[in-house]
């Protein structure tokens, strides 16, 4: 119906809440498996527009999480050789996979302009967010 938020709107709202409330979350977005292709497709996000709307599995931090099924915390993006730069202001990144029925269907990706900002508390919090997102999607 008209006054029901779509899944896309709900996901964008989550990005907005995270980016506006946590000062070291400077780009917040979702990538999802693109149909049956071995690639990720950009979903709702907040922050600078990125050219990287499609990311092949295995490429960059995001593509690595698509195949590892593990959290990836990067304290210093300059120290990563398999990294896709979206903005020169980015110092650090965290990517947490989203599981629906045990399948890795996408991820939340957060870039920070602060060096080494992410703690285990961020991982636990974002795992919780990803579980809520999984419920939205299933």
Among 11, 14, 61, 108, binds ligand SME (CB under 6 A): 61
Q: Which helix (H) or strand (E) holds 77?
A: none
43 counts as binding ligand SME under rule CB under 6 A: no
Residue 41's Cβ-count burial label (10 Å; 0-12, 13-18, 19+) is: middle
Q: Which of 43, 44, 60, 97 binds ligand SME (CB under 6 A)?
A: 60
104 binds ligand SME (CB under 6 A): no
Q: Does the protein bind ligand SME through residue 137 (CB under 6 A)?
A: no
Q: How far apart are CA 89 and CA 115, in angstroms?
A: 10
- The answer to whether 111 contacts ligand SME (rule: CB under 6 A) is yes
C-beta closer to ligand SME: residue 4 or 51: 51
Nearest partner of 30 among 5, 7, 12, judged by Cα: 12
Nearer Cβ to ligand SME, position 5 or 67?
A: 67
Beta bridge partners of 33: 40
Residue 62 in the binding site for ligand SME (CB under 6 A):
yes
83 binds ligand SME (CB under 6 A): yes
In angstroms, rounded to a whole number, what is the distance separating the alpha carbons of residues 83 and 78?
8
Using the 8-state DSSP alphabet, how is residue 55 labeled? Answer: E
Q: At what angle do helices 120-137 and 7-21 cross, to 10 degrees?
A: 160
Q: In whole angstroms, how close is the CB of 59 to ligand SME at the nearest point?
A: 7
Give residues in contact with ligand SME (CB under 6 A): 27, 50, 52, 55, 60-63, 83-84, 86, 93, 109, 111
């Amino acid at each position: 119906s008209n006054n029901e938020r779509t899944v896309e709107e709900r996901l964008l709202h989550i990005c907005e809440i995270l980016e506006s409330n946590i000062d070291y979350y400077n780009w917040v977005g979702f990538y999802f498996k693109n149909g049956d292709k071995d690639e990720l497709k950009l979903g709702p996000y907040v922050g600078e527009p990125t050219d990287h709307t499609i990311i092949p599995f295995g490429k960059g931090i995001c593509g690595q999480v698509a195949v590892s099924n593990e959290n990836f915390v990067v304290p210093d993006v300059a120290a990563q050789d398999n990294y896709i730069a979206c903005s020169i202001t980015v110092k650090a990144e965290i990517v947490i996979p989203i599981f629906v029925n045990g399948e890795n269907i996408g991820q939340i990706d957060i870039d920070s302009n602060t060096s080494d900002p992410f703690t285990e508390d961020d991982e636990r919090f974002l795992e919780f967010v990803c579980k809520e997102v999984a419920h939205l999607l299933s």
